[in-house]
Structure 1
Amino acid sequence: MTAPAIPASGGYWLRDARIPGTPAERLDRVDLRIERGRIAAIAPVGAATDGPSLDGGMALPCFVDVHTHLDKGHIWPRSPNTDGTFRGALSAVMADREAHWSEEDTRARFAFGLRCAYAHGTAAIRTHLDTYLPHGRSTWRVFAELRDAWAGRIDLQGVSICPIDRLAGEDGAALADLVAEHGGVLGFVTRFAGGGHDAIPPGFEELLDHAFALAEARGLDMDLHVDESGATAAATLPIIARTAIRRRFQHRLQVGHICSLSLQPDAVINATIRLVREAGITVVSLPMCNMYLQDRTPSRTPRWRGVTLLHELAAAGVPVSVASDNCRDPFYAYGDHDMVEVLQSAVRIAQLDHPLGDWPDTVTATPAAVMGLPERGAIRVGVPADLVLFRARLWHEFLARGQSDRIVLRGGRPIDTTPPDYRDLDALVGIDAG
């Protein structure tokens, strides 16, 4: 796509753009006025007589990626998951962390992921950070450095991740203090160290109550990895919802994955969704990673996509996002921190179409609200002119191609959309440049 001739300074009209309406599937044809890096006016198409034209192409707000793992990213070449399973991923990451995760190594891979996301048009990211003390302190230092360095380009939030039993005792308090010190979100997985999401661990309810107390005492939001398997016995989501209701939890609470929910009996599904809605919980689905890991058996075609009940949750009024999750690490061998790919994949995997409705909001407005970012995720007067422009004129055209010719505007000016070269990481991941 040839970039419109965006003025180097001053205000201008961006003419003949299609922007999401209500529902988001509806595209309104408008002229956008850009002044001082913000959207100053939205007028009916044809109101402006000068300025660059999109020729009816789509303009979306820059994306919000609300569930990633930037500290793990891009280790696949040196630590592949040889069988593609969840347990294989755990083992590979644990070994790689012990062997390689210096601050220099983490910083370089983390920054590489940010560079990819920025080039593709993402303006805000929430990343989970492996927080196993004492090593987790160095990871959070790197996070804080990069959050400051990328301020104004990517709004970055950090979330702890560790097995829930790591939150017990003095170590749990120290971990929660570390999160609070960095303005982060308290997170964990609903399994014990060394185990999988196969059943509810013994003593889980007491530990969960303790985790809520840690968050409440520090005024922290929570973001949990929940029931990431096909085991219906791993039904911790209802317990989480009931705990939030009983404690009248006042902060934001998001859960991710909840893969096993889709395999529960209908009565359990309906009761669980009612609890989730009552508790005010938001849900993020990771369709690419879940489809990659779940129901994987050697030499057998998977029978199940591993994705949670997006249609049913949304129909019940539960806010739902989709996100990129892992990229080029043992939990997902592929990905490029590209929210266009995430949305396209989610639509195809979970049949979020006919009608498309408001599903595009799952990568813009909904995750922006989860992250507490009122100026992200929408195109309206007064917000930053952070836009992704496409030659595609219709959602069908948008969903049919990879959109490699997109243009990204930050503060109303085009940026370089060239992703970083994988060769930048050769020395870290052990690829011989020769």
Structure 2
Amino acid sequence: MREFDHLPPAYVLTNARVPACLIDAAHPADTEGLVRVDVAVAAGRITAIGAALELPELPRIPLNGRLVLPGLVDVHTHLDKAFIWPRAQNRDGSFAGALAAADADRRAHWTADDVRTRMDFALRCAHAHGTVAIRTHLDSIGPQTAISWPVFGEMRETWRERIALQAVALTPIDLVLEDAEFLPLLDAVRRHRGVLGAVTYMSPALPAGLDRLFAAAGEHGLDLDFHVDETADPGAHSLALIAEAALRHGFEGRILAGHCCSLARQSEDAIDRTLDLVARAGVAVVSLPMCNLYLQDRHAGRTPRWRGITLLHEMKARGIEVMVASDNARDPFYAYGDLDLVEVYREATRIAHLDHPFADWPAIVARAPAAQMGLAAGRIAVDRPADLIILTARSLNEALARPQLDRIVIRDGARLNAVAPDYAELDSLKGMPHGL
């Protein structure tokens, strides 16, 4: 679409198809939940949206029914781990193998320069694909806290005009009870306006650890974000304990629970009880379908029997806010991925049957995660920045049937010419084998 190579300062995109759940305007929707609209842009912002805008003074760019999305929001990533796969491979693809490989790589290689280089590489990938906001978990263990958080602060400032960044402290729940670990972590989160979090698992320390996190978050006005029940064990029920802790503390901040895999392995009674608690406590849930499909139920020589994802349909039916995200990218927890939310949405739809009807499921990579981050992104609205993704697909079915690698990304009304960086850029990092 050469007409996008030199866009004028003001123009109208005509005959666009947009998911109704992502547009701040009421129009009749088709069977896929799409509306046909024109979108006027001037000085980098959206100035009007309508079924047939009469603006004869502006040049018109016909989209012929192509699908248009807002800039997308990735609410659960690990930018500090990203792209270490060549030097930290998970040889058996298991969760235990991922933990061991990532831990060894962190201890050996995660200097400020190493983290900075890989984080910038990851952000350039996401930026090229059309992402406008990212929340990343940062391993906050021992000396790594003092390394990764300042690097994150640098990256947030460097990228603030391109991608809005938030960070979450990631540490085992047991360490929350150790002052030597928790107090520096809390200080880093407060100084960098971050989010408190932990990896929760069925440990004797879990109830006390949750109480300490909720108390600290309440005292300092922080939100919470947890890794939850990332296992096939039906006895893992820390999601319910998190919801109970939220109710017990009367917590008023935002709470996001990631993964929640084991819920799908539990009895219907246990599921109902947990979902009732989660809905009452206002806990939102982010599923990481590609990573969990990769790790869960992996056994050598045996085909996996389940998908490893949480109960998105049942949660949504209870009014629980749900979303999906990239999670890991080319590291021991997920050997693939490129911080591309169009791909994440496509694969989530296929894996979790988010279709027939599509309804408002497109919001799970846009409006819903933006709200969780406290941002006004992830929607197409008047007086918002003209951050758009234009696909060649004319329907959600076409978009999901074929990788949309020829998409046009518009940022502040202008075409973005960025491309995902070459993997060879990372060859110079310590420990990286060349030529992979």
Tell me which residue corresponds to 2:195.
Answer: 185
Query: Once the 2 structures are TM-superposed, how far is the Cα of residue 168 of structure 1 from its aligned partner?
Result: 1.2
For residues 22-67 of structure 1, the C-alpha deviation after alignment (integer angstroms, 9 at most, x for no partner) is 5884211111110111100012136455322212111100100000
Alignment of 1:139-158 (within 5 A): 139-158=148-167
Matched AA of 2:104:
A
Contact 1:407–1:417 (Cα < 8 Å) also in 2: no
How does 1:221-240 map onto structure 2 within 5 Å? 221-240=223-242
Q: How far off its partner does 1:135 sit?
A: 2.0
User: In 2 relative to 1, CA 201–189 (structure 1 residues): closer, same or farther, beyond 3 Å?
Assistant: same
Specify the SS of the correspondent of 1:52: strand
CA contact (8 A) 2:22 2:70 kept: no
Deviation at 1:433, TM superposition (A): 4.5
Query: For 1:176, which of 163, 166, 186 is the aligned residue?
Result: 186
Whether contact under 8 Å (1:31, 1:47) holds in the other structure is no
2:360 is aligned with 1:387: no
Shift of 1:369: 0.3
Partner of 2:141: 132
The aligned counterpart of 2:14 is: 15
Give % identity: 50
Q: Does the Cα contact within 8 Å between 1:23 and 1:357 map onto a contact in 2?
A: no
**2:118 paired with 1:117:** no
| Letter of the structure 2 residue corresponding to residue 184 of structure 1 | G
SS in 2 for 1:77: helix
Distance 1:206 1:22, change over 3 A: closer
Paired residue for 2:215?
Answer: 213
The 2-side partners of 1:3 and 1:261 are apart by: 48
Shift of 1:392: 0.7
Q: Which TM-score applies when normalising by structure 2? A: 0.95
Q: 1:16 to 1:176 in 2, by over 3 A?
A: same
Report the CA distance between 1:232 and its aligned residue.
1.2
1:6–1:52: 8 Å Cα contact kept in structure 2? no
Maintained 8 Å contact 2:20/2:360: no
- Aligned residues: CA RMSD: 1.5
Query: Partner amino acid for 1:39?
Result: I
Query: Is 1:398 paired with 2:408?
Result: no
Q: Is the 8 A contact 1:173 1:214 kept in 2?
A: no
In structure 1, the partner of 2:99 is 90
Contact 1:242/1:279 (8 A) holds in 2: yes
* Deviates most, 210-219 or 270-279: 210-219
For structure 1, which segment, 386-395 or 203-212, has the greater mean C-alpha deviation from structure 2 after superposition?
A: 203-212
Tell me how far apart the structure 1 counterparts of residues 216 and 22 of structure 2 sit (CA, whole Å). 39
Q: Which residue of 1 aligns with 2:82?
A: 73
Contact 2:215–2:249 (CA under 8 A) maintained in structure 1: no
User: In structure 2, how many angstroms separate the alpha carbons of the residues matched to 1:44 and 1:14?
Assistant: 11
8 Å contact 2:22–2:380 — kept in the other structure? no
> 2:110 matched to which residue of 1?
101
- The runs of 5 or more residues in structure 2 that have no matched partner are 24-31
The answer to whether the 8 A contact 1:176-1:215 is kept is no
- Matching residue of 2:40: 33
Residue 4 of structure 1: how far off its partner (Å): 2.6
Which residue does the alignment assign to 2:28?
none
Report the residue type matching 1:37 in the other structure: G
Unaligned runs of 5+ in 1: 192-199
- Indicate conservation of the 8 Å contact 2:22/2:366, yes or no: no
**TM-score, length-normalised on structure 1?**
0.95
How far does the alpha carbon of each residue in 1:188-232 deviate from its partner, in whole angstroms, 9 at most, with x for none?
1013xxxxxxxx211321221111112112111000000000011
Alpha-carbon distance between aligned partners in 2 of 1:152 and 1:389, rounded to the nearest angstrom: 21
**Letter of the 2:234 counterpart:** T
1:245, CA displacement in angstroms? Answer: 0.6
Letter in 2 for 1:134: P
Q: Which amino acid aligns with 1:330?
A: P
Q: How many aligned positions are there?
A: 424
Q: Tell me if the contact between 1:16 and 1:46 (Cα under 8 Å) persists in the aligned partners.
A: no
